[in-house]
Structure 1
Amino acid sequence: MTELAQHTEPLDDALPLGPSSLVWRYFGDNRMYLIGPRPAVLQNMLAELGQGVYDHSTFFADTAERLRRTIPPIFNTVYGSDDRNAGTQVRDFHHDVKGEMPDGGRYHALDPETYFWAHATFVEQIYYFADTFVKRLTDAEKEQIWLESKTWYRRYGVSDRPMPATYAEFERYWNQMMDDVLVAHPSAKYGVGYVTKGFPRPKAVHPLVWRLVAPVFNPLAAFLTTGGLPPRARALLGLPWTDTQERRYQRFAAFWRSRPVNWIWDRLPMRVRYNGHALKGYARA
């Protein structure tokens, strides 16, 4: 991928990204897979964003390929430098993602509120992942992550008007979106359909191999996907989830948060703990 040069030094109301930042520590951690597709599902529950995916994305034709194409530029925005990152490239992908809503209204992916919601789900995934599967975050750590995320968002070169100033304001914004704004858009419902129907075979996987893998993969994917969503999202999407499953999920999360597991994880090689985009960022820095 060709990265685009830009200069986005942190402003006074933000903190820098880099090896000492908490966003770097958690965002590229390979344990992030444990949260399932939480950010993608929640993104598509904003009606305007879900409609853009429905009208323009290859998500429905080849989900795996769409993720392979979309995720690297996000990581290269986070793990790039202030002067060289993929932020404006990510923004420019969305210039032509616009159209008409079913009620006759218009949508555009670069509308400030729509674009910020996509970013908000990525930031919230850091909070959810770290607090659920690594350690309970302190208030100071939550605020630090938020201030670092402001530097991240400004790398896109879009309006930061909708961006809350503090973590407390972000938390209020998030709760309002969950309670009053999100809907069960068809894009979101499609994205979690495999919870009850099974995951579609990726085109790159041979049918025989998938036949052997699917009986193990599908229950695990359903467990991580449903357990990793907020209760409000589960209810809107009609996803089955029992008290027994919730207790099992909480035991699963507590295992990963335990001191012995963290002790072992922290002593593994970085190439095991972090994805390739994060490794390149740490190596450069």
Structure 2
Amino acid sequence: MTELAQNNTEVDDALPLGPQSLVWRYFGDNRMYLIGPRPAVLQNMLAELGQGVLDHSVFFSDTAARVKRSLPPIFMTVYGSEDDNEGFNVRDFHHNIKGEMTLPDGRVSRYHALDPETYFWAHATFVEQVLYFADTFVKKLSREEKERIYLESKTWYRRYGVSDRPMPATYAEFEKYWQRMLDDVLVAHSTAKYGVGYVTKGFPCPKGVHPLVWRVLSVGFNPLAAFLTTGGLPPQARQLLGLPWSERQERRYQRFAAFWRSRPVNWLWDRLPMSVRYNKFAQRGYANAA
């Protein structure tokens, strides 16, 4: 196959990003906070990825700094243009994230953040984040909409310049991949367990907040954070991480989600200013496209 034919195949098996795409519509929506840290927790439940964070990240010493450093270039990869985005820079951040890890059976294995299977899992959690968020807190997505989001996400992934060998060809194949990862591959890595520790212990006092002020605020904040975090995780992840969740809590979570999906809430949200509805990266993307 010629290079031109290969390029045409790559274009034909995906959909573009841009103002008309569903990924743009949902990924930068500020209601995304309602799903809690779902993608980050699931990322770190892949042993190789969790070990990379443990060995190379400031996640444990300054979690907020890690989030502020990691998320902006990913948003700019999505909301940039095909010729001007941060995809290659995101990839290059990971060149030196590598090392060794001890497997449960005692064997030592090497890991690298740019291993295609590891890198694609990180991306997959963001793709599933878009699907889960929209379907849970905005509207019930049709099968066609889910397939469209997935085809758009293939364009997103290719902006990183990492091998797309592990990337499922279709949404149906992605569903099977996702289920297999949840059922057979993910583990309760210490990085993931640390990331959800506040569910049972509460958040520590944030930097810059007086302890007495935090003592008052935490009374409402900690239960809400625990509710969104635990409710926003797949059952397999909750079980692996030992997070308590009852049928009663599940019913409350579903009622909470249904409230956000309701027609009056969506009607009101759609009439708020763009600066309220979307983060600054999405706002910039739409403005540049216009």
With the shorter chain as reference, the TM-score category is over 0.9
Shift of 1:121: 0.1
In structure 1, C-alpha distance between the alignment counterparts of 2:209 and 2:179, rounded to whole Å: 39
On the 8 A contact 1:147/1:166 being kept in 2, the answer is yes
Q: 1:270 aligns with which of 263, 268, 274?
A: 274
In structure 1, C-alpha distance between the alignment counterparts of 2:161 and 2:213, rounded to whole Å: 43
Matched AA of 1:42: L
Q: What is the TM-score with the length of structure 1 in the denominator?
A: 0.95
Output aligned runs, 1:14-163, within 5 Å: 14-103=14-103, 104-163=108-167
1:247 aligns with 2:251: yes
What is the alpha-carbon root mean square deviation over aligned residues?
1.3
SS at match of 1:107: strand
On the 8 A contact 1:62/1:202 being kept in 2, the answer is no
Structure 1 unaligned residues grouped into runs of 5+: 1-7
In structure 2, C-alpha distance between the alignment counterparts of 1:171 and 1:200, rounded to whole Å: 37
Matched AA of 1:277: F
Shift of 1:39: 0.1
SS at match of 1:101: strand
**Which segment is superposed worse, 77-86 or 197-206?**
197-206
Shift of 1:173: 0.2
Output aligned runs, 1:173-192, within 5 Å: 173-192=177-196
Partner of 2:3: none
Partner of 2:231: 227
Shift of 1:134: 0.4
Q: What is the TM-score with the length of structure 2 in the denominator?
A: 0.94
SS at match of 2:205: coil
For each residue in 1:169-192, what CA deviation from the matched residue of structure 2 results, as whole angstroms up to 9, or x when unmatched? Answer: 000000000000000000000000
In structure 1, C-alpha distance between the alignment counterparts of 2:221 and 2:37, rounded to whole Å: 14
Residue identity over aligned pairs, in percent, reads 79
Where do 4+ consecutive residues of structure 1 move more than 6 Å?
none
Shift of 1:12: 1.4
Q: 2:197 aligns with which of 193, 197, 207?
A: 193
On the 8 A contact 1:64/1:202 being kept in 2, the answer is no
For each residue in 1:48-89, what CA deviation from the matched residue of structure 2 results, as whole angstroms up to 9, or x when unmatched? Answer: 000000111100001111111111011000000000000011
Matched AA of 1:125: Q
In structure 1, C-alpha distance between the alignment counterparts of 2:141 and 2:11, rounded to whole Å: 24
Shift of 1:207: 3.0
On the 8 A contact 1:79/1:85 being kept in 2, the answer is yes
In structure 2, C-alpha distance between the alignment counterparts of 1:28 and 1:206, rounded to whole Å: 31
Partner of 2:220: 216
